[in-house]
Amino acid sequence: MANERNLFEEEPDIIYIPDDEGNEEEFEVIMKFEVDGSDNKYMMVVPLEAGDEDSDEVYAFRYEEDGDDLKLYMIEDDAEWEIVEETFNTLVAELDGGNVHE
């Protein structure tokens, strides 16, 4: 069991995203993925300082990496959002797949 626990105690991938007022907020990257048939890359993030236990907010961004620079883009197209949401849900279901057949 100790070995399993160590696998999940990796250092979280933290990014900083400025809000509307220019204040940087910390977010943990919970997943990165590409959509089949597209060169676009996406990441799902959650706020680190979510003081509200009811706040299960997950944010999705399209991103590009240029060396050490990370550029985030809001997903504003409904069709693109549906594809990202479907892919995310599929990946989460695959990760939880071992628990489905209990």
Residues 92, 5, 17, 20, CA torsion sign: positive
37-91 residue pLDDT tens:
888 999 999 998 765 555 678 999 999 998 888 899 999 999 999 999 999 999 8
- Token pair for 47: 């706020």
pLDDT at 92 over 80: yes
- Residue 17 · residue 30 · CB < 8 Å: no
Q: What is the pTM of this model?
A: 0.74
Give residue 57's pLDDT.
86
pLDDT at 3 over 50: no
Q: Within 13 A of 29's CA, how many CA atoms are on the CB side?
A: 17
